[in-house]
Chains A and B, each alone.
Chain A
């Protein structure tokens, strides 16, 4: 019979509620920082959103980027950015959106291809007009807001509105800081990144739901327990599953990050951050927030968060989580 190699036997005894001020402060800094970074730096929008021309070329010999740049700089098509990526023969050519209509974009593509001469293999050509980008940003923003609201409504429906508020705020926090990370790192923000943000909204709620489920269960069972002790107990009891579920998803995303290639780079960065920050926010934001919004049925008047000495006196790992 195969036994697991690693088992977390002890239920930890971490005083999450004692650290809640630290958590709130950190999250406030990260959220405000993200908004400021977004306002100051903005995002490095990919062609999906900004419009313009991106050509991926592969040269027969290792690419001489500076020679290619000289050829392209004199074409009168504005700023041309060249960048090596992938193998030594691969070059990504970005041309800013050309003033004038669609024909102008086409002409610019033709000019670039002519200037580089024959022998170059064009692996991909992307031309995106300006209207598309604006529409995509709008649709993306709407989708994200709707996702947050829909998830909050679902949680409200399954729990009580107080839980819904907590879930929405922590999910909002996760999505805002993901955008902030992209504003900070200036990694290209494209359509797949947007997909990642929506997925984060749906996924980061998972640990929150697991924890809320447990809080509710504990509330029903220990009607007289102080609320802060109760939250701590629920968090500690579910900690191993929180960590394990996050780890499996993180493993999948890590393999995407390392092997998924250039196109999925932004996606995997966003997902990785979302998974980590989503777990953090479940533990340090979503759960402690319940303490302030007080769901119905909190009878325990132990209003003050338990000092760590009380928390240490939590029921032992062997506590019977009995059947009704």
Chain B
């Protein structure tokens, strides 16, 4: 409770500081400050509060510097921890990021570093990207690479330390198909090596007389992931856009999924914009996933995110754009339906979000 009150006080102070900054006299178009808070709650007894602060400033005519801080406060007593015979847990994740971007209007490059830390997890990420505009800015080709080093621990066990490393490449094309149509297509490949199970979850193996025995999770230590994504923004009426996207995903664990979504964003007058979104997701399970294993196997998982399931997210957002201030608020409802996870066949929840951006 004390942690929550301190976090709430810090959050309120942060919002007031940014709002006071917005009320001050402008000093020129040199920097943006953005603060965002979201609250996630589901009927699996999990609440996540996320707050981020981002600053972006112009260093030269062509270069910008940026930084952000993100704090996640998680409180959960989901069926995972019930299965592990532990009680409700809370934890705080902090993430800092620093980066730079350069663009001459045709070429653009970015470089970012991210460090994330929680009590049982530490992560370092380096990401680089470059892009080039072609054909009178009707086509943009972009290539990004990233590398992540994760150190995985276990609460209350100083002897437990595992490493997980990953690397990814993202190739992207964005093209102007017409004065009303903007398309994007991308291919992403990622490779993950190292520890990829959870030290807290236990997979169930059928025992004698209809009982089940919990075994620590074991997962393959290599994973190759592919995603192909298409996005399409189409201008309709005088000041509205239909924004659609689709993704196909495959990996060598046997997970396959399809994602599709669409949304309508409408400008109501000079300052106000409203948006409605709908997103659906279908997933086939990993080859080694079973809800309850018939016998101990080389790979055992209780990760329902590796099972067969579908989910739907539906949201609405309003955004007000002033001369120097942008404020937005949104709410999203969601449902997950797990076909092969008897302990939690359905999960429903809501996400509320509030954002503020100020140009200094």
Are A and B part of the same complex? no
Which residues of A line the B interface, CB within 8 A? none
